[in-house]
Amino acid sequence: MSVINIPEVEVEMGSASPNARTLRATVVQASTVFYDTPATVDKAERLIAEGASHGSQLLVFPEAFIGGYPRGSTFGVIMGNRSFKGREEFRKYHASAIDVPGPEVERIAAAAAKYKVHVIMGVIERAGYTLYCTVLFIDSQGKFLGKHRKLMPTGLERVIWGFGDGSTLPVYDTAIGRIGALICWENRMPLLRTAMYAKGVELYCAPTADGRESWQASMLHVALEGGCFVLSANQFCRRKDYPPPPDYLFGGSDENTSPETVVCAGGSVIISPSGTVLAGPNFEGEALISADLDFGDIARAKFDFDVVGHYARPDVLKLTVNDNPLNPVIFSSGTAAPEKMDSDNV
């Protein structure tokens, strides 16, 4: 695992002035051990330890790091029909997902507490037989703060993942700053970003599966628009990081693809509220990409542009967010069906 050099900034937490804080943060660019969740959790624990050894106080992991992003898979879906092989592939994918809360969450929380780091972790969450692309928030004391479920899966993701609702759009006020997260192309939804800005997000985490160079433009725009630090983490994967053919096929026909072929190029990056790229983007391989964040940059950026403050026009434009849980079944006792309950409240 390579480590990207960190700009020299003195780290002093706990200052009385909110603008005098600095924070060392790391985005993790690494691949899932696909279909092997215990091995992926082992890898996550090693990466948390490595990041902490470099002084990081916040580690952001990629989208679907635990459970895996099924890149290239069709799950046997064509319009009007599904194949048995695709159903079996979903069964294996479902088995690789995790319950939230659950034993894997407890292991990540224990590692966060051991190494005294905040961890933002992308997972595939299993809720009964529905899967969600989810981000977990864990603080440096090992407390599970809660989760965000992806509101709008993209393309074929909609076949395998359920849709989140407005009840999991948190921004947590932690000892290191106000932390929130949107996943992959959710970050291209202007109204959803506005909701995050209105909640005062300072550390805007963007776990993703988009390794294209065009993703960098989106992340730069978010940093400038929100006046916040943007921390985008993506997996770097080669064909060999997935099961070999014929057990797993990319688009149904990659038997001749080299095991070394890059199938996700990473591009993880950290950007300041002024639009300065502090670390990354990295398109070379697995890496820990770190930077020291000066919270004074937030005030300096918002002097020019505060999108939900002096630059807002509520007399003309307003946003209403439904942040209630949307449960399909409510019993007369007022509780939701067990498999659909918001596990934050269990």
Examine the residue annotation and report whether 286 is marked as an active-site residue of this protein: no
Q: Which residues contact 336 (CB under 8 A, 6 or more apart)?
A: 325, 327, 329, 330, 342
Q: Answer yes or no: are the C-beta atoms of 312 and 27 closer than 8 Å.
A: no
Rounded Cα–Cα distance for residues 27 and 315 (Å)? 39
Q: Is residue 198 classed as helix, strand or coil in its secondary structure? A: helix
And the tokens for 131?
């899967």
Say which of 8, 10, 63, 89 is annotated catalytic. Answer: 63
And the tokens for 313?
């026009």
Rounded Cα–Cα distance for residues 51 and 61 (Å)? 11
Q: Which residues contact 63 (CB under 8 A, 6 or more apart)?
A: 69, 122, 133, 135, 183, 184, 207, 208, 209, 233, 234, 235
Q: Which residues are catalytic?
A: 63
